[in-house]
Amino acid sequence: MVFLEYFRFPDSKTEDDFVTEYTSPPKPTPDYYTQNFYPFYVLSNREFYCMNFAPITILSGGNGSGKSTVLNIIARKLHISRNSPYNTSKWFDGYVECCSFQTCKFYSGEEFDLVGQRSQEYDIASISKMLTSDDIFNMLHDDRVRNDQRLFKSSVLQTQVRLSKRLENQRAEEYRERLKHIDFETGENVKEFRDYVERRNYSFSKYATKHLGELERGCSNGENSLLKLTDLIQVEGLYLLDEPENSLSCEFQIKLKQIIEHASKHCNAQFIIATHSPFLLSLENAKIYSLDDIPVTLKNWWELDSTGMYFELFETNRDKFIKK
């Protein structure tokens, strides 16, 4: 499924017209504008003016090539909500205003059916997610904080349960004493008494789960990252992923590749991914923009400089992999 069909970035003339309103006279140094008007000229210096999207579109390139900048611009233009901070500047919104995009006509409500009724209309921001490695790490951190809070409350409850078990011989008297303070007509103190009875009758684990919630699954960072990504990529929509392979082993990168391919084929999900991972670069039928090239060009994954480096490494050490 393709929700976002194309995205256009401003050309050099449009950028010149914008920035010259704020600079007089123009500065002579070639990198003045890229350093002081970010993100202006970052993409035009690579002759990158338009992206036409497939169900899976990948941005490939070295550090500083502009991959994350592209995703940030698209997310800002589409008003996609996000949690983690990202590189920006006071000129960012001005640049975004110079951009344009086209969504699928069916989902933007521009098509009409045979009886003249407007088809289903989508706000693309409502079905879009921007996920970065920082987002995943922040989610994992929040999970750990909740776990710590639950474990602390659990220890308090456990102490109460153990204390009550030591007082078995006082149980009847305690029940009678608590009943004295309950007004069944007004309901005063009924909840407190019910909670007391629950603590006595439940196993501790059941009681803690009911009142504190389930503890998050205890796994490594990589395992938790993959689980979190799997949970987030479940329904149709547009997903912008910025280096999702961070903290994932080769095995888990392959699993993430399989998840993305499945979601694209069977869940009507569209992906725009910035990545260095050779496994994600080899996603089936992905359209790959190489930001290492000027002008930016479309390439197959095996034609990329980065995958060529992997090939060269293994080819140079071929004899070490061949069992004699």
Summarised one tens digit per residue, pLDDT across range 201-220 is 544 445 444 544 444 455 66
15 and 112 share a domain?
A: yes
Average pLDDT rounded to a whole number, residues 293-317: 94
Residue with tokens 């061949």: 322
- Give the end of a domain, one of 212, 241, 260: 212
104 and 117 share a domain?
A: yes
25 and 142 share a domain?
A: no
Q: 31 pLDDT exceeds 90?
A: no
Q: What is the pLDDT of residue 203?
A: 47
91 and 185 share a domain?
A: no
41 and 121 share a domain?
A: yes
Give alpha helix (H) positions in 49-169: 67-77, 92-97, 105-108, 133-166
DSSP-assigned states of every residue in 211-266:
HH-PPPP---HHHHHHHHHHHHS-SSEEEEEESTTTT--HHHHHHHHHHHHHHHHH
Which pLDDT tens digit goes with each residue over 104-155? 755 554 444 444 444 444 578 888 888 887 777 666 555 555 555 555 555 6
pTM for the model: 0.71
- Give the end of a domain, one of 212, 239, 268: 212
The dihedral formed by the CA atoms of 182, 183, 189 and 195, expressed in degrees to the nearest 10:
60
Looking at the chain, the whole-number percentage of residues with pLDDT higher than 70 is 63
CA-CA distance, 77 to 73, in Å (whole number)?
A: 6
Please tell me whether residue 105 adopts helix, strand or coil conformation: helix
Q: 83 pLDDT exceeds 90?
A: no
Which residues, in sequence order, are bridge partners of residue 78? none
CA-CA distance, 274 to 280, in Å (whole number)?
A: 9
Q: How many domains does the chain have?
A: 2
DSSP character for 110? Answer: -
Question: Is pLDDT larger for residue 224 or for residue 195?
Answer: 224
127 and 21 share a domain?
A: yes
101 and 238 share a domain?
A: yes
152 and 128 share a domain?
A: no
228 and 207 share a domain?
A: no
- Give the end of a domain, one of 197, 212, 227: 212
Residue 132, domain CATH: 3.40.50
11 and 121 share a domain?
A: yes
Res. 84 pLDDT band, cuts 50 70 90: confident
Q: Where in the sequence is the domain holding 256, given as residue range(s)?
A: 4-137+219-321
DSSP-assigned states of every residue in 154-193:
HHHHHHHHHHHHHTGGGHHHHHHHHHHT-BTTTTBTHHHH
87 and 197 share a domain?
A: no
187 and 257 share a domain?
A: no
Q: 300 pLDDT exceeds 90?
A: yes
**Angle subtended at Cα 132 by Cα 9 and Cα 239, rounded to the nearest 5 degrees:** 65
First and final C-alpha spacing in the chain: 48
